[in-house]
């Protein structure tokens, strides 16, 4: 089976940096993705790590270490609009490319 | 590119009734997915189409659930004899099969189903 664990909630101050961790137990996967979801909205793609290391996209960075079964999403220069739920997901090791999601981390950005 | 659209956005029904949801994916995407999301949880995979072929169904998809993608474009998800446990957000996503884009799924805003 496959399971992904994330902290349920994180609070940070506007302008700060926050790291959201994701640990996983899986027999194998192709890559680790991160999605953002505002209340009532659609999950939207943030980043994808196919290989170990750091991927940077603007204020967001994502990291993967397969040897440690661990990844994280780093959000810099936090803005109020970053308040949302963040999900890590692995891409299943079959031809479907379906995603297996963690239970999500709710980020609250305070002024 | 108008994104993935789902209709209706909200559906309230009585237990035992049938409901049908529609998803219009991004036009050039040939992969289409249905997920279910309950409050405080991540989306859970239900089923997947490549073009018009339904290639995989989750064990979550009981006999009361059926999905179609008749012409490889829009898709419908039908739930027969709804139960209160079916109350959830039903999300549709689509993706390309080309290059790095195959790793990105684009989600619709979902249909929120409430079974009374």
Task: Render pLDDT for A80-107 as a digit per residue (tens, 0 to 9).
Answer: 999 999 999 998 877 778 999 999 999 9
Distance from C-alpha of A87 to C-alpha of A110, rounded to nearest angstrom: 20
pLDDT (0 to 100) of residue A1: 66
Residue A47, C-beta contacts closer than 8 angstroms, at least 6 positions apart:
A33, A34, A55, A57, A60, A61, A62, A73
Distance from C-alpha of B74 to C-alpha of B58, rounded to nearest angstrom: 20
Half-sphere exposure of A76 (CA within 13 A, CB side): 7
Contacts of B90 in chain A (CB under 8 A): none
**How many residues in chain A?**
111
Chain A residues whose C-beta is within 8 A of a chain B C-beta are 4, 30-31, 33, 35, 40-45, 48, 50, 87, 89, 91, 94-104
Q: Tell me which of A84, A99, A100 to substitute to probe the interface with B (most B C-beta atoms closer than 10 Å).
A: A99
Distance from C-alpha of A86 to C-alpha of B35, rounded to nearest angstrom: 17
Chain centroid, CA B110 distance in Å = 8
Question: pLDDT, tens digit, for every residue of A9-36?
Answer: 999 999 999 999 999 987 777 889 999 9
Mean pLDDT (10-residue bins), chain B, 116 residues? 89 98 94 95 95 91 94 94 97 89 91 97
């Amino acid at each position: 089976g496959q399971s992904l664990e994330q902290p349920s909630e994180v609070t940070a101050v506007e302008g700060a940096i926050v790291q959201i961790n994701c640990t996983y137990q899986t027999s194998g996967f192709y890559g680790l993705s991160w999605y953002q979801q505002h209340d009532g909205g659609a999950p939207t793609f943030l980043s994808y790590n196919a290989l170990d290391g750091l991927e940077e996209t603007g204020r967001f960075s994502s990291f993967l270490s397969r040897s440690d079964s661990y990844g994280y999403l780093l959000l810099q220069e936090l803005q109020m609009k970053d308040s949302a739920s963040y999900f890590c997901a692995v891409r299943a090791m079959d031809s479907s490319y379906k995603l297996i999601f963690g239970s999500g981390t709710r980020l609250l950005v305070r002024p | 590119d108008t994104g993935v659209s789902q209709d209706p956005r909200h559906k309230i029904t009585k237990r035992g009734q049938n409901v049908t949801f529609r998803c219009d994916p991004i036009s050039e995407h040939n992969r289409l997915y249905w997920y279910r999301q309950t409050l405080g949880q991540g989306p859970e995979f239900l089923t997947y189409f490549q073009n018009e072929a339904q290639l995989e169904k989750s064990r979550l998809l009981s006999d009361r659930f059926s999905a179609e993608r008749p012409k490889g474009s829009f898709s419908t998800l039908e739930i027969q004899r709804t139960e209160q446990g079916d109350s959830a957000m039903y999300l549709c996503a689509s993706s390309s099969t080309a290059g790095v884009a195959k790793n990105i799924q684009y989600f619709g805003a979902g249909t929120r189903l409430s079974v009374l």
